[in-house]
Structure 1
Amino acid sequence: MALLDKLTSGSSTPPDTSGMSKQAKLVCELVADFNSNNLLTQIRNNNRSKSDIDKTYKYPDHFTSELIETKNFKMELLKWKNSHNPYVVLQFHGGGYVGAFKTQYRMFAGLYSELGKGASVLSIDYRVAPENPYPAALNDALYAYDWLLNHGYSENHIILAGDSAGGGLAMALCHYLTDRDRILPAGIVAMSPWTDLTASGSSYTENFEIDPLFGNTNESLIYNSVYPGNHDLTDPYISPLFGDFTGFPPMLIQVGSNEMLLSDSILVAEKAKSQGVKVRLSIYENMFHVFQMGMTLMPESKKAWVEVSKFLEQMMVL
């Protein structure tokens, strides 16, 4: 378990996130510089909807992967060779509902499998806007959930995981399942989830000048999303914050204190807790949107993944 070894090697005491590490400062500066450069932003936007799921990717030898084509989108099922772990992580990538599957989510998948002690991981390249606005992403998420049920997995062995829009999509899926009296999954891992497309939280103004990804502009997708189309932005299937969380499975929510989307996490955690849901909200000081992309290279992201490992261990009864 190479990645797991990197996470747990060295001091047994998790790194202190009260200040930003040198690695995190460097990444934060690069992100800020990238987003302040109009040319680079244009390149990013032009490549956003181009999926990497068909690109060749070499997983470590202890994995097998299978590309699955459905009528509307593709999925990749990652399995640990000779593993008898009955659990599966259903991964929803981020990208503001306009970004397609990117290679870094294969690294996420490998890490989820290792931290899940051989759990399988199904990553889906769900349809995105503007070509496929709401409810395309939700429909594809539901299809993937049902696909798992039809291929031998039970609801109590499925854990949803997603970052940014993917974290919001995981919660939206649970709202949809709840409204139809269906059995919900065992848990949710949400990294910087986008839960409020109305941008009504206080952090949208309080962190406007310090968020390196979305800050200092009103032109970003968090203010100009094409995903909802003409639908009500307060629909819980679009903005999960406005739904009823009663009966939801345990949730781990991680977010950076410098994010404009900070309140998306805080408000969901407060509401879900008040409705009887077990929620662990972890706010990482000075961190930016989906800082977990730093994997094992930043002390802060490393600590976040250790926390994910502990959550998965609690959810999985092996």
Structure 2
Amino acid sequence: MPSLLSRAVPAYLRVVRANRPFISAEGAREHIRERSLRPQAYGPPRLLRSDVTIEVRRENGWPIYTLTPRSGHARGNVVYCHGGGWVNEVARQHWQLAADVAAEAGTTVTVPIYPLIPYGTADQVIPAFANLVRANRDQYGEVCLAGDSAGGQIALSTAVLLRDEQQPAAPRTVLISPALDLSLSNPEILTIQSEDPWLGRDGGLVLGDHWRGSLSITDPLVSPLFADFTGLGPLTVFCGTRDILLPDTRIMVGKARAAGVEVDYHEAPELVHVYPLTPTPEGSEARMLIIDALRGALTPATSPA
């Protein structure tokens, strides 16, 4: 049974009307307009972890943040793709997870501030993420990918594009409640909709249509569920059962395993969208699993004696 805090999360989300941008097409259009008129701040919180340093540079118009542990030798790199429906900026929870990964997994974490809809689109953003991963490989060595929700779509589509370009597979890609099929055509979505206090199909269709840009909604750079998963690196995946993205996540896990991809899948009964980012015992446990997975992927294997 979920913890008391986790059981309180759906009620809180309903009180603050977290689903307003997603539950209706009109709500999504109004949210896009509001974000266009009044862009959100994206910088890291002033009080993050004191054992992590933060630097920022600008590449091709994007602010690119790098978080580095102050102590020890940082191994490799994680490119973190933040969620927010492709329309909301990076949030405090994303920064906190990025800082925890940097400090506790002993790695550098790159957080790109990518352009959001209606200005940013998948046909522009995904190739730019792939370019960033290639550049980080030259600088840091091994590079993992991670992302939540819309950022999970970006992370997995980037991994697919790099595979198609015959680049080395990421040693680990972490997907937190990933958006996988932006057509939202899975009939099971409607069954779960009444239980999901956060996401909605009607608004999600509007956001996805903006995000695809010039690409088809079924292009793997938009909807990675339609990709061939052969040759991708290992995946660590999280999803709660009160999340309309659950049916497609289950399909993706099965499809990846059938293609020979190692998948570490964590399905949490009665928990909401992106539950690893929530301030709950289950969220804390999931964050430790994420840190352990990335640390293990970036730590050189020891040779047998």
Match of 1:20 in 2: 2
Residue of 185, 193, 196 corresponding to 2:178: 193
Q: How far apart are 1:36 and its partner, in Å?
A: 7.0
Match of 1:161 in 2: 146
Q: Which has the higher contact order (CA 8 A, sep 6+)?
A: 2
Q: Do the aligned partners of residues 67 and 36 (structure 1) sit closer, same or farther apart at CA in structure 2, a change above 3 Å counting?
A: closer
Match of 1:13 in 2: none
What's the TM-score, normalizing by structure 2? 0.87
Q: 1:80, 1:248 → 2: CA distance?
A: 28
Q: 1:313, 1:70 → 2: CA distance?
A: 27
User: Larger % of helix: which?
Assistant: 2
Structure 1 residue 50 corresponds to structure 2 residue 39: yes
What's the TM-score, normalizing by structure 1? 0.84
List gaps (5 residues or longer) in structure 2: 22-26, 301-305
Q: 1:85, 1:54 → 2: CA distance?
A: 23
- 1:208-219 equivalences in 2 (<5 Å): 208-215=193-200, 218-219=201-202
Structure 1 residue 92 corresponds to structure 2 residue 81: yes
Q: How far apart are 1:306 and its partner, in Å?
A: 2.4
Q: How far apart are 1:85 and its partner, in Å?
A: 2.6
Q: Do the aligned partners of residues 248 and 264 (structure 1) sit closer, same or farther apart at CA in structure 2, a change above 3 Å counting?
A: same
Q: How far apart are 1:158 and its partner, in Å?
A: 1.0
SS of corresponding position for 1:207:
helix
Letter in 2 for 1:76: Y
Match of 2:191 in 1: 206
List gaps (5 residues or longer) in structure 1: 1-18
SS of corresponding position for 1:23:
helix
SS of corresponding position for 1:74:
strand
What's the C-alpha RMSD, in Å, of the aligned pairs? 2.3
Match of 1:14 in 2: none
SS of corresponding position for 2:91:
coil
CA contact (8 A) 2:123 2:213 kept: no
Q: Do the aligned partners of residues 163 and 271 (structure 1) sit closer, same or farther apart at CA in structure 2, a change above 3 Å counting?
A: same
Instruction: State which drifts further: 263-272 or 308-317.
Output: 308-317
Instruction: State which drifts further: 88-97 or 225-234.
Output: 225-234
SS of corresponding position for 1:285:
strand
Letter in 2 for 1:162: G
How many residue pairs get aligned? The number is 291
Q: Do the aligned partners of residues 274 and 110 (structure 1) sit closer, same or farther apart at CA in structure 2, a change above 3 Å counting?
A: same
CA contact (8 A) 2:114 2:120 kept: no
Letter in 2 for 1:219: D
Match of 2:24 in 1: none
CA contact (8 A) 2:18 2:198 kept: no
Letter in 2 for 1:29: A
Letter in 2 for 1:282: H
For residues 149-193 of structure 1, give each alpha carbon's deviation from its aligned partner in whole angstroms, at most 9, with x where no partner exists. Answer: 34x222xx2111100011111110111111111112211010000
Instruction: State which drifts further: 218-227 or 233-242.
Output: 218-227
